[in-house]
Amino acid sequence: TPIRLADYAPPAWVAEHVDLTFDLAPRGARVRARIRFVKGPGEAAGGPLRLDGQKLRLLSAAVDGTDALPSITVDEEGLTLAPADNAPLPDAFTWEAEVEIDPEANTELEGLYLSNGVYCTQCEAEGFRKITYFPDRPDVMATYAVRIEAPTSIPVLLSNGEPGATGPLPGDRHFAEWTDPWPKPSYLFALVAGELVAHTDAFTTASGRPVALAIHVRPGDEDRCAYAMDALKRSMRWDETEYGREYDLSVFNIVAVDDFNMGAMENKGLNVFNSKYVLASPETATDRDYELIEGIIAHEYFHNWTGNRITCRDWFQLCLKEGLTVFRDQQFSADMRSEAVQRIDQVKMLRARQFREDAGPLAHPVRPEEFIEINNFYTATVYEKGAELIRMLRLIVGAETYRAALDLYFDRHDGQACTIEDWIAVFEDASGRDLTRFRLWYAQAGTPRVTVSEGWVEDAPGQGGRYTLTLRQETPSTPGQPLKKPVPIPVAFGLLGADGRELIEPGVLELDDTERCWSFELPERPVPSLLRGFSAPVILERRSSEAERAFLLAHDRDPFNRWEAARALALEVMMGAASADAFAEALLPAITDASLDPAFRALLLTLPGEDEIARETWSRGRPADPDAIHAAAKAARKALAEALEPELRGLYEAMETPGPYTPEAGDAGRRALRAAALGLLARLPVGAGMAEAQCGAANMSDRLPALAALLASGSPAADAALDAFAADWRHDPLVMDKWRMLQATASRPDTLARVKALSEAPDFPWKTPNRFRSLVAAFAQNPCAFHQADGSGYRFLADWLIRLDPVNPQTAARVAGAFETWRRYDAKRQKLIRAELSRIAATEGLSRDMAEIVSRMLDA
């Protein structure tokens, strides 16, 4: 049964303070809790106390020190403590309970589990209830004191907040205590214990408070932490200068673990990371890995204010912390690297994942109104579209008012669990604007389509005239939301003259109704540059000629729209509506323009992927044919390579990075441009040899794209290069993930057979999410192999999902999203996919996660 936002009720009881004692053991860990409860604010205040609890063995319980309890009933989901005739619940009381849990058996990676011998926790969203009985909801905020007892063979014992006493215990055991002075919801609780080594550093906050920084990793990994540490210090400084936010404890700990369902987790003072987003060395990590590490370290750190100090009232408000924190990490990355390149990458990701979600059966509003399993709502819509809404708010009120609104937010709501209404209210108060209609962005699913029509009336020949621009919006219906209202859409724009100059001061048009019209007196008919910087998450539809696109690619001063013009041209080429030669001609001046950032030029040279073409085909009203798309994409790449061969070779030579590898954005951009050139050249006979030679590169940023290019070239040397790579990296699971992913995403005729063989290898550790994703999820991202006409790709994925679901429902349900695009394809493929979804749905003992995802995909 779904949980509904409309049913929210404040808690009957709130916990004020929590004391926890852990006695760690793999199979029978003991957790003793002492929790101070007081009456809550709601109508039900003082009524029965409901505590969530799952997979707990309750050993003892007491209220105010006596086990003469009020009535207590335990069920699968928790327990209820109700006043009994002889024992009413007092106005405030202390609950004590001891439970036993089994970290070793915990393969779901939620609650307390063991990862490669390291004890760690993941509590967001509802994992704390697998550690002890508790009102496991974010509007219950308490201070915590934690004591961890463990064998001395587990030297490092960490939890949230400030370190306290440590010392030996009888029988080769020891303990450590931690106290967290900042009230927090249970989802921010964390504990880590293991044989770890620390990479340490120090930071002094703007007001002079010293902070001890540490990144804890498994022995042997300590020399791969320097970049993450550097990113952390830059994040801490940036939040001070840009948002006035200082860190608020004397220690900040990060731990890298190998088994993790997501990227990372912002537990107070103790961030836990998927090791993929911490560990990096030039030999093992690509430029993209470094960039992701920087962004995710920043993201989790920024949560300290946007998420932890101010948290969410309930899980429907998830975007309150996630959308805002994504937006903040995007701003940070834009400041650290190239703003234009960052923006283009964000939009590529938004379109590939969020637009895809919004157009399919899993579409939901940025603030959903109901869910069955909250883990299914950590989505591109909540995160990425959530960030876009904040970007729009900032554009609408202006940067200064945005900063004032954020100051007000921190001021007004510090220490609280808040809602989107609270968030919008600070913007209304800071700006004096009525943002009632803007709220619709949070409530309505679906991507608005904006159509453009233009008019030009000449005053007199050669005298200029009146230009009119009409924008119209429409949002297609989404599951459960057949009718949509117009939303306010800020459209950043400029009007260009034939020489490329701006004819008027660039600005923002607010399309705040279904249709709006603007007119301008201009000396000549302009070429409009609309939705600059991708100022709103919409699909802009404007009929445009190849010549006009080439003009914008050459002249627009907005780098995003220059790239957008190139992308539109590339799509036409790949969909067979324009010639590769004309595209090459338009591209040529930009890609060889030495004054342009190489990273930006690399983006111009990177053609849209096959999934994007499938989406585009379907949105133009035709079923997508993955084989035809693949063939067309291949032909387009080859034709472009032929047309640009000398220039691509020139770039390949010119973009060599001298000196030792540094992850710095300038060098990374040169490598990206070089890799883009190589990726195209590999379609020509000359390229295979170049790729093969580069496979011997010492750094992974050069080696991996070379191997990918060699695979794409179809060269017989590819297998030997793959073997050599595996021989070098057999001992390194993170690097072997790349090796597997390359093969799973390769467009070779026997990809499925190869992937099957890899997945059946006895040493394939599929229960570790990174490994599963590197092979099975990566395969499902390979349009041609996954969408084979006989359905064998679909069957392969479904078999694996059925196998993973009982072990790790969260990761299984997430990967199942690969089926969300089924409506794009022909009737035969649709039928095959639906049959696999039905087979999953009929599986006995299916998890709540998977049952919800699959039924939403089938129902739509």
Residues forming the active site: 300
Residues in binding contact with Zn ion, number by CB under 5 A: 2
List all residues 6 or more positions away from 157 whose beta carbon is below 8 Å from its beta carbon.
148, 150, 166, 174, 175, 176, 192, 193
Interface with Zn ion by CB under 5 A: which range of 124-132, 315-323, 470-478, 798-806?
A: 315-323
The residue (of 221 and 373) whose beta carbon lies closer to ligand ARG is 373
Residue 296 beta carbon to Zn ion: minimum distance, rounded to whole angstroms: 9
Question: Is 815 near ligand ARG (CB under 6 A)?
Answer: no
Select the residue interacting with ligand ARG from 259, 300, 611, 820 (CB under 6 A): 300
Structure tokens at 334: 């834009």
Choose from ligand ARG, Zn ion, none: what does 175 bind? Cβ within 5-8 Å by kind. Answer: none
Residue 389 beta carbon to Zn ion: minimum distance, rounded to whole angstroms: 15
Residue 294 beta carbon to ligand ARG: minimum distance, rounded to whole angstroms: 15
Question: Is 737 near ligand ARG (CB under 6 A)?
Answer: no
Residues in binding contact with ligand ARG, number by CB under 6 A: 11
Report the C-alpha gap between 379 and 350 in whole angstroms: 11
Find the DSSP H helices in 337-446. 339-349, 356-358, 380, 386-397, 399-413, 420-431, 440-443
The residue (of 109 and 196) whose beta carbon lies closer to ligand ARG is 109
As beta bridge partners, residue 257 has 274
Nearest residue relative to ligand ARG (C-beta): 378
Choose from ligand ARG, Zn ion, none: what does 759 bind? Cβ within 5-8 Å by kind. Answer: none
Amino acid at 493: F
Report the C-alpha gap between 811 and 828 in whole angstroms: 28
Residue 787's closest CA among 619, 631, 633, 624? Answer: 624
Residue 588, helix vs strand vs coil: helix
Q: For the residues of 686-705, what is the DSSP string, one character each?
A: HHHHHHHHHTT-SSHHHHHH
Q: Taking a C-beta distance cutoff of 8 angstroms, is the pair 538, 529 a contact? A: no
List all residues 6 or more positions away from 187 whose beta carbon is below 8 Å from its beta carbon.
123, 124, 125, 126, 127, 128, 136, 138
Question: Is 378 near ligand ARG (CB under 6 A)?
Answer: yes
The residue (of 420 and 755) whose beta carbon lies closer to ligand ARG is 420
The residue (of 306 and 478) whose beta carbon lies closer to ligand ARG is 306
The residue (of 526 and 809) whose beta carbon lies closer to ligand ARG is 809
Residue 385's closest CA among 465, 337, 446? Answer: 446
Residue 238 beta carbon to Zn ion: minimum distance, rounded to whole angstroms: 17
Site mask for ligand ARG (CB under 6 A), range 121-140, x = bound: ---xx---------------
The residue (of 114 and 387) whose beta carbon lies closer to Zn ion is 387
Q: Taking a C-beta distance cutoff of 8 angstroms, is the pair 122, 265 a contact? A: yes
CA 372, chain centre distance (Å): 21
Report the C-alpha gap between 646 and 609 in whole angstroms: 24
Interface with Zn ion by CB under 5 A: which range of 317-325, 528-536, 550-558, 828-836?
A: 317-325
Residue 145 beta carbon to Zn ion: minimum distance, rounded to whole angstroms: 26
Residue 857's closest CA among 830, 4, 103, 272? Answer: 830
Interface with ligand ARG by CB under 6 A: which range of 30-38, 228-236, 262-270, 602-610?
A: 262-270
List all residues 6 or more positions away from 432 whose beta carbon is below 8 Å from its beta carbon.
none
Contacts to ligand ARG from residues 305-324, by CB under 6 A: 322
Contacts to ligand ARG from residues 321-360, by CB under 6 A: 322
Report the C-alpha gap between 250 and 259 in whole angstroms: 28
Angle, CA of 650, 652 and 658, to the nearest 5°: 115
Rounded to 5 degrees, φ, ψ at 322 are -80, -45
Residue 773's closest CA among 792, 797, 793, 791? Answer: 797
Select the residue interacting with ligand ARG from 121, 375, 745, 788 (CB under 6 A): 375
The residue (of 136 and 322) whose beta carbon lies closer to Zn ion is 322
Select the residue interacting with ligand ARG from 257, 262, 604, 776 (CB under 6 A): 262
Residue 847 beta carbon to Zn ion: minimum distance, rounded to whole angstroms: 23
Question: Is 599 near ligand ARG (CB under 6 A)?
Answer: no
The residue (of 338 and 810) whose beta carbon lies closer to ligand ARG is 810
Residue 819 beta carbon to ligand ARG: minimum distance, rounded to whole angstroms: 19
Q: Strand 507-511's sheet: what is its strand order? A: 507-511, 489-496, 527-530
Site mask for ligand ARG (CB under 6 A), range 452-471, x = bound: --------------------
Residue 267 beta carbon to ligand ARG: minimum distance, rounded to whole angstroms: 9
Choose from ligand ARG, Zn ion, none: what does 262 bind? Cβ within 5-8 Å by kind. Answer: ligand ARG
Site mask for ligand ARG (CB under 6 A), range 268-287, x = bound: --------------------
Select the residue interacting with ligand ARG from 112, 217, 249, 265 (CB under 6 A): 265
Choose from ligand ARG, Zn ion, none: what does 221 bind? Cβ within 5-8 Å by kind. Answer: none
Residue 701 beta carbon to ligand ARG: minimum distance, rounded to whole angstroms: 25
3-state helix, strand, coil in the chain (%, to 5): 45, 25, 30
As beta bridge partners, residue 306 has 310
List of residues contacting ligand ARG (CB under 6 A) = 124-125, 262, 264-266, 299-300, 322, 375, 378
List of residues contacting Zn ion (CB under 5 A) = 322, 325
